[in-house]
Each structure stands twice: as C-alpha cells, then as structure tokens.
Amino acid sequence: MMVAVLPMTSGKAVPGGVCRVGGAGTLIVMAEPFLDMTPEEFRRRGYAMVDWVADYLEKVDDLPVQSGMAPGQIRDLLPDQAPENPEDFEAIAADLDRIVVPGLTNWTSPGWFAFFPSSNSGPGILGELAAAGLGQQGMMWATSPVCTELENVMMDWMVDLLGLPAWWKTAGPGGGVMQQTASDASHVAMVVARERARRGGADISRCAAYTSTQANSAIEKGLRVAGYGFIRLVEVDGVYAMRADALSEAVGRDRAAGLVPTFVCTTVGTTATTAVDPVRAVGELAKEEGMWHHVDAAFAGNAMICEEYRHHQDGLELADSYSVNPYKWMPMTFDGSLFYVADRAPMIQALSILPPFLRNEASESGRVIDYRDWHVALGRRFRSLKLWFVLRYYGAEAIRARIRANTAWAADLAARVEEDPRLEMAAPAPFSLVCFRHRAGNEATDSLAAAVNRSGHSYLTTSRIDGRSFLRVAIAQANTRKEHVDRLWRLIDETAQAV
Ligand code: PLP
C-alpha cells in the first residue's frame, strides 16, 4: 500500500517504511518495503533517460575520444560508502554528466580507430533496454522459451548470412549460441577439446595446444585457464599468417615426446594486422591428428556477410568450432559473440551437470535446447533480442554496404600511405584495418600515434611485431563516415611532416 503524506522535493528515510519522491514533488511512503519504481515514475524517468542517451549520441563526435581524467580522479568524486537513505533520481541522473561522462573513453565516437570497435546503434540499445526490462534468465528453455528459441533462430539466420556450413544450424548436429565475448567462446572450445581427449583415454596433463604467435592473447589466456600444460605459439610467415608446415612440425615433435596434441586455434583476421591463417591446411592436419580446430574470426568474420570475402575462410567445413563478434563490425551493441560447433554432442557431454533443482519436463523431453550446457555460466542474458532488432532494422544489404564502404575507405587510406615517401605499410590490409609505420623508425611512429591521439577527435592504437612499431587504423565504428577518415589522414599528413 502506498500513501502520499507530504510535499517534498527530495527523498528521506522514514522510520518503518521506504519512501520515494512521487509526482508533483510529493513524498510517497510505502507502508511495506517495496523496492521498485512505480510504473508511472519509471515511464517519466525512462523518457528522460532516453533523451539523455540521445543527447549523448548526438554530441559524441564533439567529445574527446579519450577521457582526460587522471587515475583515481573519478574515485575521488564518489562517496566512500553506499547511501543509507534514498536519493532523488534527478540527483542520481545528474551525476552522469558530472562524474560519468568525463570518465568515458568514447568508443561510440566516429573518430574511433583504436583496437577493434565495440559498436553501438539505436536498435541495438533499444534491444538491450527491452531485454533489461523483460528480466529474462535464459539458462534453460523452461526458464525462458523465447530467450532460447529466438536465439536458435538468430544463430541460424547468421549461418546463412555468413556462409557458414549448414549443419551448424540448430536442426543439424551442430548449433550456435551467443557467448559473452570471443574469449568465452574460444575458452569453451578449449575445455570441450580437453574433455573429449580425457574421455578418449588421454592423460590430460599431457595435452598440447597450438595457435600462432599472432593469435589474440585471449587464446593463450584461455588455454592457461583450461589447464593446458603445453601451449605452442607457432611461427608465422611474411604476412603474419600461421605457417602450416611449422604447425605440422610442432605437432610431430610433441607426439614424439609423448604429448597429446589436442587443440588448435586459427585466426581469420588477427588482432594486430588482420592476417588470415590457412584454415583448410590446419583443418586437414587437425583431422589427421584428432585435434579440435577452433576458428577465431572475432572481427573479420563479420565481413563474410559479403560473399567476396568468404575465400578467407575456405576450409571451414573441417572446423570443429567458430566464433565471430557482431559487436566488432556490425552495428550490434556490446556484448555477444556468436559461437558455433559442428557437433554439439561433445560440448553437452563436457558441460552438462544436472542437479535436481534444474530438472524439468521440457529438458527431459529432449525436444528443447538448454543453453546452460553450452557455456561456463549458468545464468544468461537475453542477447538475441538486440541482434534481432539490428538485423530487422537495417536488413543484411545495408550491413553489407557498410562493410564494403569501410573496406573501400581502408583501401583508399592504404593507397595514400603507399604514395607517401615518409610512410610505409606494415602489413597487407585484407579487410578494413590499415597498419603502417613511419620510415624513420619506432620513435617517429610512436610519436605520430601520440600526436593523433592528442588531437582528441581521433584515437588509434599501435602494435609491435619483431620489435617494429606500427599504427593500426581500424575503420569499423558504426558512426564513422568517410569525412572522419579524411580528417584522420589530414592530421597524419600534417603531423608526419613535423616528425
Ligand atoms: N580474437 C580476436 C581475433 C580479437 O581481435 C579479439 C579482440 O579484439 C579477441 C579474440 C578477444 O575478443 P573479446 O573481447 O570478445 O573476448
């Protein structure tokens, strides 16, 4: 029961009850503890919050991409202890501008060329809002039939859109699930591979795993977490792709030493330079050796929505698992990595534990998918909702057009670099990442990057291979337009002269 007792503009504690500021400045006292906003208040605050987010998105290009805050400065703005008494929502929301915005790294900025982007879009944000509002826990079909079945269908749609093997669909022996990140996806593959080896009689303390020196650090980290004692970083060729012959030699050496080659990860589009490992050659070796082959296509896998890029993943029909992150290049809001397996049986065998409190009729009928058996966590968010919104709002053709535009702008930037006597390309640019360096060496290259980042309107990151620094310009943020790439180039051009 709620009772409006007195006019008020700010919330106060009331003995024996919980109070809230209601409409027209009245203080609402709840006779019993009732901790949610009223629907009327939620509606009012919600409209205001959507306005606030829309204003942020509108002005994000004018904000510095990197935060100007020093370490500890944000902590100093926050109280040491949680409040005992309610606060006005206005005061809470006002702290977004006072504390949160100054501490942001603006990943949504169109001047974002760093790492790979973490995308954002209106339909993606609204899908997240709806998912939060619905409060679903999709750990099993029975705990949210729609969370499970919408995800089944989204994962199947993406099989067709990305040209993946048809048997990775829900109706086949394989299937797909949305993991939180690519790190989680590859980690599941590693654990399933290890368990498959154990069930096959292998001594898991002898399991060996392979990836290239250019694989994302998430792969080596996942292997450590999964308990692989022998992790081999295989050499790469002149364009930074894994050497299949070096892999074959490493596997041979390990077999001879009594180890059990168990898992190999190739990358389609490495983080440093978007190099593409030889998926088919590694897949054939993995089949011969009985190794699990995971393909990490976190960023570049998005390009496969355009048929002309699919030759980069030739041999995928030999892979055991695959992951791609739509939030890195499609306009889907973080998080959500699409993870596919060619055969779901070993994964479910490895990850399914059924305590009595999770038993239910639907699961026992064998007619439903329980995604809790497809990843490490039990609870899971309703991630497919935002992917559904994004795919329907834009349509595949618009997403293809954007990926093609990004790669065309990258080719244009690469051509400018190649024509410039001060600069040189550091690696080929098969997608929309352009890697180049200053010919004067590491110091000149690093100071060029620092000058770009000091501008405030553009942000890029550097990397190093074999001790040589280079700039990475990742053109994939959903808000970036050609004019932003041109603005970046003008800055590089002006700054490179001064180096
Ligand atoms: N794999 C590749 C090729 C990546 O580029 C990245 C991140 O950029 C990852 C894995 C890790 O991604 P996540 O943050 O989704 O775990």
Per-residue tokens: 256 = 């001879």
Torsions phi, psi for 21 (to 5 deg): -85, 120
Count CA atoms within 13 Å of residue 497 on its CB side. Answer: 5
Report how far ligand 1's centroid is from the alpha carbon of 116 (Å). Answer: 8
SS3 of 165-195: the string is CHHHCCCCCCEEEEECCHHHHHHHHHHHHHH
Q: Which of 112, 113, 118, 183 to probe ligand 1 with, by most ligand atoms within 8 A of CB?
A: 183
- Residue nearest to ligand 1 atom 14, measured at CA: 181
pLDDT confidence of residue 23: 54
Strands (E), 347-493: 423-425, 433-438, 461-465, 468-474
The alpha carbon of 14 and the centre of ligand 1 are apart by a number of angstroms equal to: 49
> What's the CATH number for 396-498?
3.90.1150.10
**Rounded Cα distance, 110 and 485, in Å:** 9
Residue 23 tokens read as: 């409409």
Q: Mean of the pLDDT values across residues 306-334?
A: 98
- Tens-digit pLDDT profile for residues 76-119: 999 999 999 999 999 999 999 999 999 999 999 999 999 999 99
Q: How far is the CA of 387 from the centre of ligand 1 (A)?
A: 19
Report domain extents, the chain. 1-35, 41-65+67-104, 126-394, 396-498
**What's the confidence (pLDDT) of residue 30?**
60
Q: How far is the CA of 13 from the centre of ligand 1 (A)?
A: 46
Question: What per-residue confidence (pLDDT) applies to 3?
Answer: 42
Record the tokens describing residue 473, joined without a space. 């310009």
| Nearest atom within ligand 1 for CA of residue 116 | 8
What is the distance in A from the centroid of ligand 1 to the CA of 218?
A: 7
227 has a pLDDT exceeding 80: yes
Percentage of the chain surpassing pLDDT 90? 91
- What would the pLDDT profile of 428-470 be if each residue is shown by its tens digit? 999 999 999 999 999 999 999 999 999 999 999 999 999 999 9
Span 242-266, mean pLDDT? Answer: 98
Among 22-36, 133-147, 323-337, 388-402, the range scoring the smallest mean pLDDT is: 22-36
Quick one: which atom of ligand 1 is closest to the CA of 270? 3
Q: What's the CATH number of domain 41-65+67-104, 1.20.1340.10, 3.30.1490.20, 3.40.50.150, 3.40.50.300?
A: 1.20.1340.10
* Ligand 1 centre distance from Cα of residue 406 (Å): 19
User: Each residue of 468-498: pLDDT tens digit?
Assistant: 999 999 999 999 999 999 999 999 999 997 6
Q: Alpha-carbon Rg of the chain, whole angstroms?
A: 26
Check residue 36 and give its pLDDT: 82
Q: Which residue in 283, 343, 274, 262 sits closest to 309, CA to CA? A: 274
From ligand 1's centre to the CA of 182, what distance in Å? 5
Beta-carbon contacts of 250 under 8 Å, excluding residues fewer than 6 positions away, are: 210, 232, 234
> Residue 395: what pLDDT?
98
- The H-or-E segment that residue 402 falls in is helix 396-419
| Interval 183-210: pLDDT, tens | 999 999 999 999 999 999 999 999 999 9
Q: How confident is the model at residue 5 (pLDDT cuts 50, 70, 90)?
A: very low
Atom of ligand 1 nearest to the CA of 186: 10
How many other CB atoms are there within 10 angstroms of residue 322's CB atom? Answer: 30
Mean pLDDT for the chain overall: 94
- Tell me the whole-structure pTM to 2 decimals: 0.94
Q: Return the sign of the alpha-carbon dihedral for residues 209, 211, 217, 219.
A: negative
Q: What is the pLDDT of residue 9?
A: 40
**Among 294, 342, 26, 330, which residue's Cα sits nearest to residue 172?**
342
Ligand 1 pocket list (CB less than 6 A): 115-116, 181-183, 216, 218, 267, 269-271, 296, 298-299, 325, 337
CA-to-CA distance for 470 and 467, rounded, in angstroms?
10
Residue 302's pLDDT is what? 98
CATH number of 126-394: 3.40.640.10
Q: Is 28:4 a contact under the CB 8 Å cutoff?
A: yes
Q: Rounded to an integer, what distance in angstroms lies between the CA atom of residue 131 and that of residue 125?
A: 10
Q: What tens digit of pLDDT does each residue of 7-58 get? A: 444 444 455 555 665 555 566 666 566 678 999 999 999 999 999 999 999 9
